[in-house]
Every structure is written in C-alpha cells, then in structure tokens.
Structure 1
Amino acid sequence: MKKAKFLTPVITAFNTDGSLDVRANKDVYDRLINSGIDGLVIMGSTGEFYAMSIEQRKELIDLVVTHVDKRAKVIIGTGCMTIEDTIELSNYAIDAGAENVIIVSPYYFSLTYESLEFYYGRISESVKGNIYLYNYPDRTGYDLSPEFTLNLLRKYNNIVGYKDTVSEMGHTRKLIQTVQGEFPEFEVFSGFDENFVHNILAGGSGCISALSNLYPEIFVKWVKAVNDKNMDRAAEIQNYVNKMSELYEISPCFIPILKKAMMIKGMHIKDYCKTPLLQADEKQSSAVEKFMEEVEHIIS
C-alpha cells in the first residue's frame, strides 16, 4: 500500500472587484501548510482558473511560489483551451519555481483520442517540469481512459500523476490496475473526498478534494490513520467526511458555499467569486450555518 496523501485544491480569494486578495490568499496557504496538509493544488476547478485571465493566473503563480517558498508541495493548474497557451503558462510556472503543473484538457467539444494525444504530446515535449493529468469528464465531455493514459506514460516520462474527478471508484481502480504494473510510482488521486480510503486500498496515492480547505486538520488526521493502518480511526473520520460532503448539496456550484463556510469558520476571506458565480444568498447562507453547527457537533 502506497503512503497516503491528501492535497488541497485551494480556493482563490478575490476582492469585490475581481482582483486577487493577496493577504487572504497568503493566509489560506499558511493555514493549510501549518495544518500539515500534503500539498497545495493552485488554480484547479475550486480555484476558479476558468474565469481568470492569463495575466491574473501568472500573478497568482508568482504569489504562491514566492510565499510558499517550498514549504509544501505545490501543483499549479495550467490547462488552457489551446496548446500554445498551456505551454506558455506551464513554463511560466516552472520558471517561477514551481516543479509541478496539472493540466485539464480542452472542454466544450468532445475530442477524439487522436486529438488528445496530439494535445498532451506537444505539451509534454515542451513543458520543462512534472505534469499531472486532470480527468474531469463531467466538464470536458470525454474521459482520459486508462488505456489512453498508459499509452501516454510509455512516451513521456514527465507525466507523473493523474487526478480522477469521477465519482465511480471503479473507474479509478481500473486506471490504477492498468498503469501500476509498468509505472508503480505513478500517482493516482481521486477527486471526491469520500473516495480517499477506497483510493488507497485500490493502490492509489490519495485524494485532491475541496473540503480540506475547510477542515484541513481532519484530513491530516485521516491520512495519519490510514498510514498507521488504524482502520477504526479511518472509519470514524470517514463518517465525518460523509457528513461534510453534504456541503456540496447546498448549491449546484459549491465554490461560493465553500467560501461562506470558511468565513463562518473564522477565515478572513470574502465569499466573492469570479462572475458569473454569485455569493451565497440568504437561504444558502442559513443552510451553511446549519451545516457548520452540525459538523462542529460531530467532530467535537
């Protein structure tokens, strides 16, 4: 069994005018690092990369690389709609001091595997650091299949990991089984919090999922329980996480809801997101407050 890891896909804190809230972002990074979380994924879906200009993404890269200063593993989301923009942003991150990027493939059209191989092939040949694949078929319209992934790994040695944002654990298990014989060090992370233990038991590396923004200390304890093979404790925390996952049900888009919960928890951030995402309304805010009371009760 691999050593378990839990990485946080970090929220991006914004001011009301859409600019980066520099102080708030630094505070979020420090809180996660000080909690002992295994790494930070910047500008994943939770980080609202899709609504940020290339210039703002570069600004955030400079901020996180400088502030974190190698105190934790950092993976930068650099996927763009074109090969050229993805290469430019990826190498900007690497040149700034990041060692790892995570790349979601283009969305809107359902691409063929020939197109995807061309996309990731050109990028892998041109990017000067480690690459993680980001599979999110509900948003891209297609799947980076286990067989496709294995073919890429045989060609490009800088592809080192994969985030599988698929709720069906059978998909992730098949991916792990397909690649681990030839590439035992390849990291496969689940994208849903509640699948963490299932991932590890299937031979994966852990999880990259959003609730650790809110309760990083719980997820650090979960990692320790799994690595210590304390399955009773792991099962106890699984129950906590199952309850926490109800946060995702408050709104079809969870990011403003997560930010509201973090504010209630005491984080000095705003629940402003890049448009068209709206702040939590009165009904949603009440639901978040009730959720937080219930979670605090069960974990206390």
Structure 2
Amino acid sequence: MFTGSMVAIITPFDSQGRFDEERYRQLIEFQLENGTDVIVPCGTTGESATLSYEEHDRVIQVCIEQVNKRVPVIAGTGSNATAEAIELSQHAKEMGADGVLLVSPYYNKPSQEGLYQHYKAIAEAVAIPQVLYNVPGRTGMNMEAKTTIRLAEFANIVAIKEASGNLTQASEILAQAGDKIDVLSGDDFLTLPLMACGAKGVISVTANIMPKQVKAMVAAVDKGDWVTARKLHLQLLEMHNTMFIESNPVPVKTAAALMGKCGEQVRLPLVAMQPANLEKLKAVLKKYELI
C-alpha cells in the first residue's frame, strides 16, 4: 500500500521555539518537487516526543492540507499508552491521514504478548491503514518477527517499519508473512539490502536533505537496475552515517538549517550539535555539495 521513498519529515521551529508552519509547508513542497512518494509527519525525526497534543494535531493537519492528496500522508500517532495511541490515531483519521505510524511502546518494556495486545487494540479501534514501527534503540525492546507475523493477520495492519538493524528478523517476516504485511526500511543505510530481500521502500531521515537521491536509489531497485542502486547506496552511505553522529534529528535538522531550509532549533532535552560534530557535518555537506 505504501511504497517507495518516504520521508520522516522534520518539524521546524521558529526562534521562540514555536511550530513554524510556513517553513514546514516549504519543506513539504521541497519533498514533493523532488519525487518523495509519502510524507510522514510526527515521527521521531519530527520530534513528536516534545510536541503538545495540540501541536501534534496541528502538524499533522498542516501536512495533510499542504500535501493536498498529491501523495499519501502517514501520520505518526504512536504512544506508550495504548489509549493515547488510539486517540491520536482517531484524530489523524478524522483529519484525513492516509495511514498512521505506530512506534512500539517505549519505556514500559511490554512482553511480546503485551505488544500484540497493544497493536490489536489500535487495529480494532481505528479503521485506518496502520504501519507498525520497531525501533529497539529508541524503545528499549525489540518486537520479534513472530509478533509481527501474528499482527499481519489484521487487514488494516499493512506494513512494518523495521529499524532493528536485524536483516534476519526482517527476512523472517517477509518469508512467513510477506503476502500479508509489507516491510519498510527504518534505517537509510540498510534500505538496499532490505529491498533486495523484498522490502517495499524506506521511511528515510536522509531524504529530508537529499530527497532526489534517496528516491533515485529506491527507483533503481524497483526497476531492477541493481548496478545503479548499488552505486547510489554506496554514494549515500557517508551521509546516512553522518545523520546519526548525534541523536536524530539533531544532525538532519542542523543540516537543513545550514542549507537554508529551516531554523536549527530543537527542543530540550535535545540541544544544538556539539562543535566538533558540527564541523564534521559541515565537511560532509560540502563534500556532497549541499552547502
């Protein structure tokens, strides 16, 4: 259902730390002009953890308005409280989102059965296409392949964003439930190998600043042009790695600011890049001729 190059879009703030709607609309246009297939607001990269409920809804609403049905919008509506995730997902549906992205409950560290019951409750409560999101490095626990395979039985659970870094786990999902649930790469640097196994695309951080190039690599895979895909993968690798020299989204937002796309402001407890890492980032951006 959701395929191709998808961007986990940053949320720009003004100098007073408020949501900068005008810059956000410009960022969305930049994505659409460069071929991005799906916009994903309010994910980790969109600093959803520090948005108020009102801001969260507003960011999603502005995204849906600006996209204006040109591509799908998958709204980040996950929470570590199941009732809250249901409420956020219902709001997104009412606003016109095409799907929702549901990060695994963080901090609680539920069992695999707890994870299953969490996602089951959301699937049964909100009739909208749902993308599971497994990111152990952020949540403190891994959703095992067997749990994802169980959840694939729900018709409105259509995909999983796999950011476990475990190719074997992603392959097990594809081998046993690939006809029922799509796998999407949650790590830019693993998009090519995951798509070689059957993944349908990527929800990308790097696409915030290099949407055309990320789309070109995904498109090359779709065409079966593995020589071009491999070349682009290797060309982008240094940038992918640089986007994680500090906690996401600090590097990518700083990069976008250096490119003149938005302000560099992030919300506490995130802070501006450390000077040494900032110099590394600038060097890489210059190497890629982005600044």
Superposition TM-score tier, normalisation by shorter sequence:
over 0.9
The residue that corresponds to 1:174 in the other structure is 172
1:115, distance to aligned residue in structure 2 (A): 1.7
The residue that corresponds to 1:255 in the other structure is 249
TM-score scaled by length of structure 1: 0.91
The residue that corresponds to 1:200 in the other structure is 195
Pairs within 5 Å for 1:114-125:
114-125=113-124
Pairs within 5 Å for 1:45-124:
45-124=44-123
1:104, distance to aligned residue in structure 2 (A): 1.0
AA of the residue aligned to 2:157: I
Distance 2:112 2:248 in 1: 31
1:265, distance to aligned residue in structure 2 (A): 2.5
3-state SS, counterpart of residue 73 of structure 2: strand
Distance 1:240 1:198 in 2: 15
The answer on whether the counterparts of 1:263 and 1:270 sit within 8 Å (CA) in structure 2 is yes
**Deviation beyond 4 Å, 4+ runs, structure 1:** none
2:277 corresponds, among 259, 284, 288, to 284
AA of the residue aligned to 2:183: V
The answer on whether the counterparts of 1:240 and 1:295 sit within 8 Å (CA) in structure 2 is no
1:80, distance to aligned residue in structure 2 (A): 1.6
1:195, distance to aligned residue in structure 2 (A): 1.4
The residue that corresponds to 1:135 in the other structure is 134
The answer on whether the counterparts of 1:247 and 1:254 sit within 8 Å (CA) in structure 2 is no
Show structure 1 runs of 5+ residues with no match: none
3-state SS, counterpart of residue 73 of structure 1: coil
The residue that corresponds to 1:233 in the other structure is 228
The answer on whether the counterparts of 2:11 and 2:47 sit within 8 Å (CA) in structure 1 is yes
Distance 2:165 2:104 in 1: 19
The answer on whether the counterparts of 1:4 and 1:200 sit within 8 Å (CA) in structure 2 is no
Percent of pairs with identical residues: 27
1:210, distance to aligned residue in structure 2 (A): 0.2
1:73, distance to aligned residue in structure 2 (A): 1.3
The answer on whether the counterparts of 2:244 and 2:251 sit within 8 Å (CA) in structure 1 is no
Distance 2:182 2:141 in 1: 21
RMSD over aligned Cα atoms: 1.8
The answer on whether the counterparts of 2:4 and 2:219 sit within 8 Å (CA) in structure 1 is no
The residue that corresponds to 1:165 in the other structure is 163
TM-score scaled by length of structure 2: 0.94
In the alignment, structure 1 residue 187 sits paired with structure 2 residue 182:
yes
What's the CA shift string for 1:120-162, capped at 9, x where partnerless? 11111111211110001122222222211121222x2110110
The answer on whether the counterparts of 2:253 and 2:264 sit within 8 Å (CA) in structure 1 is yes
Distance 1:193 1:37 in 2: 14
1:249, distance to aligned residue in structure 2 (A): 4.8
1:12, distance to aligned residue in structure 2 (A): 0.7
The answer on whether the counterparts of 1:39 and 1:73 sit within 8 Å (CA) in structure 2 is yes
1:109, distance to aligned residue in structure 2 (A): 2.5
AA of the residue aligned to 1:232: V
* Deviates most, 255-264 or 128-137: 255-264
The residue that corresponds to 1:242 in the other structure is 237
The answer on whether the counterparts of 2:5 and 2:214 sit within 8 Å (CA) in structure 1 is yes
3-state SS, counterpart of residue 47 of structure 1: coil
1:227, distance to aligned residue in structure 2 (A): 2.0
3-state SS, counterpart of residue 277 of structure 2: helix
Q: What is the number of residues matched between the two proteins?
A: 290
Distance 1:75 1:29 in 2: 13
Pairs within 5 Å for 1:12-23:
12-23=11-22
Distance 1:223 1:138 in 2: 25
The answer on whether the counterparts of 1:187 and 1:204 sit within 8 Å (CA) in structure 2 is yes
